[in-house]
Chains A and B, each alone.
Chain A
Amino acid sequence: MDDRRGRFEAQVLPHLDAAYRFARWLSRSPSDADDAVQEAILRAFRAFDSLRGTDTKAWLLTIVRNCHSTALKQQQRRASGPLPEDGDAQMDEAMIATAPDPESAAIRRDDERTFDRLMAALSAEHREVLVLREIEEMDYREIAAVTNLPIGTVMSRLARARAALKTRWLQETGTKPHAMP
């Protein structure tokens, strides 16, 4: 194994699980997450010489996020491609929009992980900052770097995301919000 590959593996691959978790939460699909992470690692490997500084994890997660949004755009382009010419077109589109994805259906069936379901129900923007802060334990500056947002926006979005999660959680457990201390 050459030296560059060895350095890459030592410095970047320790963050592979974090990259996968992030991709998994962004896409909510195991296979899409696999694809995004593999693509991200390859891009990271090609760009490895340009990595400066020590924040490898934020750097890698930024690449994962880019790979995910590229894949998402491609999926949307395919989904909104040529539609049938008859009057069913609108109906088809409506069905695509409302059909539950297999992942969330599986989570509903498998009831043991409440917060998987609660997180999946949040908007992508809210879920993203929550994963980076609470699961990956990144600071505001790192979250701002990964999401390409100003720090002030990270703070307000994080506050809204936490409030949204708390509300759903209280609904789930049947507790009324004003019963909180």
Chain B
Amino acid sequence: MQCPDSLRVQAFFDGEVDAVSAAEIERHTEGCAQCRALLQELERTRTALRQGVTDFRASPALRARISAALDQESIGRAPPRRASARASWRTQPFWLGAVSGLGASAVAAALLFLLLAPLLNNPLVDDLADAHMRSLMPQHLIDVVSTDKHTVKPWFAGHADVSPVVADFGDRGYRLIGGRADYIDHQRSAVVVYQHGAHVINVFSWAADGRSLPKSATRSGFRLLFWRAGDLEYCAVSDTGWDELQGLVALLANLNSSDLPK
């Protein structure tokens, strides 16, 4: 049989009573062994629970996902002019307006836009450009620092969902400087980081899912080149010129085809 005051004792324990009631309850517990025991139990259980439970934290991957989702959301709220500069699915009302309001040329333009939309509006392109931009912030570029492919490649085994080709082309002007894992398209993408002159080139790779991707794209001043090798999609992103970027892609693609028998 529980003391009818047990809920008040619990409230006292939880700091939910005023000073007058607290004094009353203290007097009560002096005379009631059951409530004294209850107070001790509450304290014991609380201490044990707080010490014995895992302190879960939002992972860096979740934080990155949320940041990217908020980016999308912010773009959706921006004026149309800015929204169209960084195309996404949220710009649909913009072209719907064009169709309804204008003549044949606008309809033709809108149709063309519709045809190109799957390629131009690929949110993955935005994700990759965002990930590249994030990587340029201090402390974000590299998780494993190494100029040795035999260090970088095994590192991916524990940190990414795919295992891309890794090579150093220092003698051709593309120096391997490390690797990183980024959360792209709901998977842990492997990123190989190269330096070309003063420029950083991020080479993203993730498991291909048969979705159509553009051959190349430009976002926020960055250039993106896509290619596919085996089961992986690759994308090289940088602020270098197209020729410099193409140079690295050619070296990597070439390596891929000659590496296949392994």
Give the B-binding residues of A (Cβ under 8 A): 1-2, 4-5, 8-9, 16-17, 19-21, 24-25, 33-34, 37-38, 41-42, 45-46, 113-116, 119, 130, 133-135, 139-140, 155-156, 158-159, 162, 165-166, 169, 180-181
Contact = CB atoms under 8 A, between A and B. Distances in A.
B101 to A, nearest CB: 28
Contact of B7 (A1, A155, A181): A155
Given A5-B74, A38-B62, A166-B41, A155 B50 contact: no
Nearest to A46: B73
A147 to B, nearest CB: 15
Contacts of B59: 34
A169 B52 CA distance: 11
A72 B121 CA distance: 32
Interface residues of B, number: 36
Contact of B40 (A134, A140, A169, A181): A181
Contacts, number: 95
Contact of A158 (B10, B49, B55, B66): B10
A1 B67 CA distance: 12
Nearest to A116: B54
B11 interface: yes
Given A133-B14, A140-B16, A181-B37, A17 B66 contact: no
A119 B53 CA distance: 8
Contacts of A130: 49
Given A34-B59, A135-B53, A139-B16, 8 more contacts: A5-B70, A5-B74, A34-B62, A113-B52, A140-B16, A165-B45, A169-B45, A180-B37
Contacts of A169: 45, 48
Contacts of B58: 16-17, 19-20, 37
Given A42-B73, A155-B11, A165-B45, A115 B66 contact: no
Contacts of B37: 180-181
B172 interface: no
Interface in B179-233: none
Across the A-B interface, the 10 shortest Cβ-Cβ residue pairs: A115-B52, A20-B58, A115-B53, A24-B56, A21-B56, A16-B58, A34-B62, A17-B57, A114-B52, A41-B66
B110 to A, nearest CB: 28
Contacts of B48: 115, 169
B175 interface: no
A162 B42 contact: yes
Interface of chain A, main secondary structure: helix
A125 B10 CA distance: 18
B69 interface: yes
B63 interface: yes
B10 A41 contact: no
B7 A156 contact: yes
A153 B135 CA distance: 49
B8 to A, nearest CB: 9
A165 B55 CA distance: 18
A116 B70 contact: no
Interface in B1-37: 6-7, 10-11, 14-16, 37
B140 interface: no
Contacts of B57: 17, 20-21
Contact of A155 (B10, B45, B49, B52): B10
A37 B73 CA distance: 15
Given A134-B50, A166-B41, A20 B56 contact: yes
